[in-house]
Chains A and B, each alone.
Chain A
């Protein structure tokens, strides 16, 4: 992800209604959406939202229905014209563009994928995928070529001549995606693109989008009402409140671990954090022993200082070699041997920084040593204590209904029935 900004939205308002300008003084006074509607007949859909979308990031805008998220994404390509504010696409304000400039942006810079696909029912798949290119006036041969490669990219090879109604929802949305990709746009706008699909297909499409994005590196703006989807796909997430304001902008971890306000906190509390919080956030930078520079003496001292019984060993390039235990190093030290290599233990678990901690839970319960964290080149980054993982998962579990010992449950049930029985008796006698 580069730091260059691709889309910059500044203080954006969209007000629907007979006289949008009338709503602004009331907005400044801080009136709520329903009051403004009652007083002026205008609906404030998007209320002073500002954000920056970086090049090649997946930016998720999340909110419940009525939060203005669909309006907001339509403002980005001016399907809906914002009432106030500015939207800079590569530095140019889309609200100030004339019709021709706007068409150019829509044809070559931004493509959109729709919730209900928006395919043309009278055209077969390849003609649907060609549609955007056709509008731009590309010749038949060239656009056919591009359409076929886009169809292959989304895994619909062999369906070129089918019609949309012959395909399942998931496949239709692949066509929608292929149509958007055929234009080779820099920005992909996805409006609840997977919301109309059933859960299994939906998860599959999410995975495929992640895979595609790893290859294509587009700037993706993804709208969803589903926090799990947002957390799964988003490099950064913008959470919109029910009043059309932006509540929090941050990475999935930032939002989960540090919700900006009560609204976001309430959203976040139901999420299984262990699937989102990664090893990186629990990792600590424990000291290591570098061989061949350091020997048993240094290792023993280091463990003593850190009050641990084992320590990881790396080579001079910080590649992880194994770990040594305190009893082995003490033995070596007494024998006055220098080389740690023979006593290196390889019987430990390692993980990458971006591994979700849910994946480590099973390992944490059985592992004998702390879990080593490495990068893709086997370089040592730090370690995670088993206790930390179990602790983190435990914290999350407390929010859910904890399991109860069976005898306790029996007791509580029988006491409840006794209570209700006596209650009923009392009522009966009262009559």
Chain B
């Protein structure tokens, strides 16, 4: 064995590095533009969330949960967000929520049209599936690094990494949902003279909506889990608090921010799931 020296035959990593370097050097303006856009969106959401008094927001969240999901979810929301407030994690939680909302909005704007495209073309589906597999399985830290190179430290690379990580379920389930629309419903639309666009808007998307909403729910949950990791590159929010807890061995802070994340996760999950289930009826 020792006569065989272990060296790389292909230097894929090197090529990747070169590409990243070239991109950072030459597409600086482009990345700046994206950074500004994301920052604007993020700040907008954040300020909207922290502008009212926490108590007002708490009640608002609870009413929303009650209205969309059930009474129990509403009560849990009220109690949970009060606990977050009491732990003095309100601002960090809202920061995280703003990150999640920003990432998810951008992710859906990209992923749903791609999902529709994948549902219409088998070739597109094949290629897109491979890319999605890549996005989902590549360890998150691997694309955190280039994200930082492109967008500098701070929340923006966090958002970018999050949306890459959280997009695949929406693409997959949008495609699946539309492909699963019963053949006779599609035929019925065609036979009554629907254009492709009418068929998509009036028949396919509404019928596929429960499945699409399941994808949206998954995207939100993945975004939440990624936002915490993004805390490591200075994305802020609860991820930052968790990181502080780990690096400074502050067990209490780590545990408290963990609880805040769980509360946020349950709230987002129940509400978006109910949103999907309501459409089914």
Is A134 an interface position by the 8 A CB rule? yes
Give the shortest distance, in Å, between A408 (CB) and chain B (any CB): 54
Is A194 an interface position by the 8 A CB rule? no
User: A114-B184, A122-B207 in contact; A131/B191 too (CB < 8 A)?
Assistant: no
Not counting A105-B193, A183-B192, a sample of 19 additional A-B residue pairs whose C-beta atoms are within 8 angstroms of each other reads: A79-B187, A102-B193, A106-B191, A106-B193, A112-B192, A114-B184, A118-B184, A118-B188, A119-B188, A120-B203, A123-B206, A131-B188, A131-B202, A132-B192, A134-B202, A135-B189, A135-B193, A135-B195, A135-B198
- Contact call B193/A107, Cβ cutoff below 8 A: yes
Residues of B in contact, count (CB < 8 Å): 20
Give the shortest distance, in Å, between B198 (CB) and chain A (any CB): 6
Q: Which residues of B sit under 8 angstroms from A106, Cβ to Cβ?
A: 190-193
Give the shortest distance, in Å, between B191 (CB) and chain A (any CB): 4
Q: Is the interface of B mostly helix, strand, loop or mixed?
A: helix
User: Among the listed A74, A117, A122, A123, which residue makes an inter-chain contact with B209, where contact means beta carbons less than 8 Å apart?
Assistant: A122
Q: Which residues of A sit under 8 angstroms from B193, Cβ to Cβ?
A: 102-107, 132, 135-136
Among residues 64 to 107 in chain A, which have CB atoms less than 8 Å away from a CB atom of chain B? 74, 77, 79, 102-107
Interchain CA distance A183-B184 in the complex, whole Å: 19
- Contact call A107/B192, Cβ cutoff below 8 A: yes
Is B182 an interface position by the 8 A CB rule? yes
- Contact call A116/B182, Cβ cutoff below 8 A: yes
Is B47 an interface position by the 8 A CB rule? no
- The chain B residue sitting closest to A114, CB to CB, is B184
Among residues 173 to 195 in chain B, which have CB atoms less than 8 Å away from a CB atom of chain A? 182, 184-185, 187-195
Is B120 an interface position by the 8 A CB rule? no
Q: Which residues of B are in contact with A by a Cβ distance under 8 Å?
A: 182, 184-185, 187-195, 198, 202-203, 206-207, 209, 279, 281
- Contact call B191/A117, Cβ cutoff below 8 A: no
- Contact call B279/A122, Cβ cutoff below 8 A: yes
Give the shortest distance, in Å, between B209 (CB) and chain A (any CB): 7
- The chain A residue sitting closest to B187, CB to CB, is A79
- The chain B residue sitting closest to A77, CB to CB, is B191
- The chain A residue sitting closest to B184, CB to CB, is A118
- The chain B residue sitting closest to A108, CB to CB, is B193
Interchain CA distance A114-B183 in the complex, whole Å: 11
Q: Pick 18 A–B contacts, CB within 8 A, sort by A.
A: A77-B191, A79-B187, A103-B195, A104-B193, A106-B190, A110-B191, A111-B191, A115-B184, A120-B207, A121-B207, A123-B206, A131-B202, A135-B189, A135-B193, A135-B195, A135-B202, A136-B193, A189-B191
Interchain CA distance A79-B187 in the complex, whole Å: 7
User: A122-B206, A122-B209 in contact; A116/B191 too (CB < 8 A)?
Assistant: no
Q: Which residues of B sit under 8 angstroms from A134, Cβ to Cβ?
A: 202
User: A120-B206, A122-B206, A122-B279 in contact; A135/B184 too (CB < 8 A)?
Assistant: no
